[in-house]
Amino acid sequence: MEKVVVLVDVQNVYYTTRQAFKRNFDYNRFWSRVTANRQVVKAIAYATDRGDQKQHEFQNILRAIGFEVKLKPFIQRFDGSAKGDWDVGIVIDALEYSKETDVVALVSGDGDFDLLVDKLRKENGNDVEVYGVAQLTSASLVKAANQFIPIEKDLLLN
């Protein structure tokens, strides 16, 4: 049985599915697909925490599905911009857990991960599956992955 680590960039998948489809990602369907006939070594959803009730309910749903939820505070800067990305944390966890697994499943369209994906494949020998909204996923990330699985209607809530 293949071993898989699942890493979800929650902010990226939220904004890209909303922009492309005006719908939300279906974490239950995704979980069923990515874990089918596989042993889950680790599954982590990386999110920002604004402290509101609706967000806490969503995080509890993720936990019930099987994800560990890692939170970083949402930071609103004086100039109006915001900060709360998990890129470095995702990279660290991917490098750590990839040693115990055959497959790394990454949900993100962020091109910053292309170097990570390339390293996981070439140096660790992992198969890397990238899930992302096709028109909003970096071409370099798609190229680096063993397999790109587009997030389409079958992975979205109705």
* Residue 25: predicted pLDDT: 98
Q: Any idea what DSSP says for residue 156?
A: B
Name residues whose C-beta falls within 8 Å of residue 132's C-beta, 6 or more positions apart in sequence. 12, 13, 16, 107, 108, 109, 141, 142, 148, 150, 151
Residue 4 reports pLDDT greater than 70:
yes
Instruction: Please state, as a whole number, how many other Cβ atoms lie within 10 Å of the Cβ of residue 114.
Output: 18
* Residue 51: predicted pLDDT: 82
* CATH number (domain holding residue 118): 3.40.50.1010
* Residue 73: predicted pLDDT: 79
Residue 134 domain boundaries? 2-155
Measure the CA–CA gap between 50 and 114, rounded to whole angstroms: 29
Asked if residue 144 lies in contact with residue 110, where contact means CB atoms within 8 angstroms, the answer is no
CA 101-105-106 angle, to 5 degrees, is 130
Domain count, the chain: 1
Amino acid residing at 149: I
pLDDT tens-digit readout, 99-135: 999 999 999 999 999 999 999 999 999 999 999 999 9
pLDDT tens-digit readout, 140-150: 999 999 999 99
| Mean pLDDT, rounded, of the chain | 94
pLDDT band at 44 (very low <50, low <70, confident <90, very high): very high
Given the structure tokens 């974490």, which residue do they identify? 27
- Backbone φ and ψ for 91, nearest 5 degrees, come out as -60, -45
pLDDT tens-digit readout, 46-75: 998 888 899 999 999 999 999 999 998 776
pLDDT tens-digit readout, 80-105: 555 567 999 999 999 999 999 999 99
